[in-house]
Structure formats: structure tokens, C-alpha cells
Amino acid sequence: MSSRTEPTATESSAVSEEGAPSGSAIEIEGVSKTYAADAGPVHALTPTDLRVGPGEFVVLLGPSGCGKTTLLRMLAGLEVPTQGSVRIGDRTLFAPGALTPQSEALGSLGFVFQAPTLLPWRRIAKNIELPLEGKGPGRRERRERATRMAEKVGLEDFLGHYPRQLSGGMQQRAAIARALVHDPDILLMDEPFGALDAMTRDQMNILLQQLWLDTGKTVVLVTHSISEAVFLADRIVLLSPRPGRVQDIVEVGFPRPRPLSVSADPKFGELVAYLRSQLGEQP
């Protein structure tokens, strides 16, 4: 059911030829991140290569400090790589040595943060519409698209509510709707369900899988929950800390749609145990 491949993390010199047509949704080559600190430089992420195929569901899994969030934030142009290049689809986001992201490449991205980050002064409908504003669609089209997205995440009855009137899980649903409202090709998610209780989390995982199956988006999701990673992922990228690096890449082959009961599958347990042992090996 699952096959393990060798880690594809290599030195930054071992990259493919420049400009080769890739067909990848995301292509990361030799990307590293070093923060300056008083006690000396901190290597958040050592040079890393990663390709994410179109429509693939990739989970970045690792303990805190392994650079998984840093990597994701670089994909969204929120952090600048110290070295290396990032390509989104057929556009360059970061050329090697670039100091700022080329923001045109961000048009095909949606981002879900750890916290819902809804604007408290806007009602849910207006929050979902936010990415469309000033981008072309008129008022009516914006509202239509927001309504459609709200239906997909089960919030159609809460369009007129303020965020603080909703529970944490519902707020995160709204955040997902907002991230998808402009119909991006890629959805980036930074521990989106980390703050939710276990039952809500299960529901959100089911919802996310369904959205992914319906829309065929490419998803890169960061989590530190092993079972969430195994449940959702086509491919798990296991990162280890100090310095942050890719330790292992694991393919997950359970058929879709996966029911919650897939976790009772012995192979599911095996995979979880394997990942746990890998994480436990870390210094």
C-alpha cells in the first residue's frame, strides 16, 4: 500500500537544468533559509529540493523547528529564501538570489493560516469576498462566488454573521472558502486545524478531502499530527529539525475517498508507527 522512496533532498548543486519544462505545480530547487541571530546564524532549512505535481496532496510533517512552516511561507512569498529558486506553475516566484517575490506568481495560490485570520469587522460573506476585491469581478459576481464557496464548506446560513459569532471550526471553514474563492490552482495550508478539538478536526479533514477530490487542486499542507498526515496525504515529506532538512518522503496509497475508518486499517497503523519511529530517531 505504501512505498518508501529515498529522500530527494540533495545539495543545491544537484539541480536540474534551468528552464526545463517541468509540468510541476510547485518546483523548489536548492532552497534554504538562514536567519541571522545574536548567537550566530540559525539554519531554519538546509538546501532542499521538492517537486509537487499538479493535483497532488503533499503534507509537510515534522516537529516544531523543522522548517516546515518556513518552507510553506516561502511558497507563498511571505519569506524570502536565502538561496535557491521557487517556481509556481510556469512562473518564477523566487529566482536564485532574489530579494523579493515576483508577486504575479502568487495569483494561483490560496493560503489558509493557522489562525482563521478573518477580519472581525467584516461579515462572513465579505470576508470570503476579500481576495476578489479590486481584482475585476463586480459586486454581484463577488457575492455569488462567495455564496457558492460558503455552500461548499457548509456556511451558507452564516453569511451575515460576524466572525466572532462562529465557532473555531466554522471560522476555519470560512478561511478555507476565502482561500479558494478566486479559484487558485494551489492551496497552501499552515497547520490549519491545529487549534481545533479532535472531533472537529476529523470533520475538517473529511471536508478538506472532499473539496480536494471535487476541485482537483494541488494542496500543500503543514501539520505536526502524524495521523492527519497519513489520512490526507498522497505523499508525506518528513522534515527533521536543527538544522531543518527533509529526512524522508513517504507515499501513501490508500484509495480515495478515505473514510475516517481507514485509521483502523493495519497498514495505516504501520505507517503511523514507521513515521513515529522516524521522528523519534531525531537528535
Partner 1 sequence: MAAVSEVARADLRRLRRRRLMESRWILWVTTPVLLLLLLGAWKLYTVISGVGALTVPPPEAVGGALFELLGRDMLYEAAYYTFYSTVMGFIIAVVVGVGLGIVLGKMHLLEKISAPFLVATQVVPKVAIVPLVLLWFGFGIASKIFMAAIISFFVVMQNTILGIRSIDPGHRDLMKVIRAPWWKRIISLDIPSSLPFVLTGVELGVVFAITGAIVGEFLGGDDGLGALAVVMLAGMRTDQLFATVIVMTLMGFVLYAVVSAIRRVAIPWHESSGRVTSL
Tell me whether residue 9 or residue 125 sits nearer to partner 1 (CB atom). 125
Considering only 62-70, 129-137, 203-211, 223-231, which stretch makes contact with partner 1 by CB under 8 A?
A: 129-137
**Binding of partner 1 at residue 213 (CB under 8 A)?**
no
* Cell numbers at 281, concatenated: 530517531
Structure-block grid coordinates of residue 249? 518522503
Q: Residue 119, interface with partner 1 (CB under 8 A)? A: yes
Query: Looking at beta carbons only, is 16 or 167 nearer to partner 1?
Result: 167
C-alpha cell of 4? 518508501
d(CA 191, CA 141): 31
DSSP β-ladder status, 186-190 and 235-240: unpaired
**From CA 169, how far away is CA 6, in angstroms rounded?**
37
In terms of Cα–Cα distance, which of 100, 98, 136, 118 is closest to 173?
118
31 or 118: CB nearest partner 1: 118
Contact between 76 and partner 1 by CB under 8 A: the answer reads: yes
Of 19 and 120, CB closest to partner 1: 120
Task: Give dist(CA 275, CA 2) in Å, integer.
Answer: 12
- For position 102 contacting partner 1 by CB under 8 A, the verdict is no
Nearer Cβ to partner 1 (181/232): 181
CB neighbours of residue 166 within 10 Å: 18
Establish if 131 lies at the interface with partner 1 (CB under 8 A). yes
Of 25, 31, 74, 106, the residue at the interface with partner 1 (CB under 8 A) is: 106
For the residues of 169-204, what is the DSSP string, one character each?
HHHHHHHHHHHHTT--SEEEEESTTTTS-HHHHHHH
Query: What residues numbered 165-184 form the site for partner 1, per CB under 8 A?
Result: 165-167, 182
160 touches partner 1 (CB under 8 A)? no
Binding site for partner 1 (CB under 8 A): 76-78, 103, 106-107, 109, 111, 113-115, 117, 119-122, 130-131, 133-134, 161-162, 164-167, 182
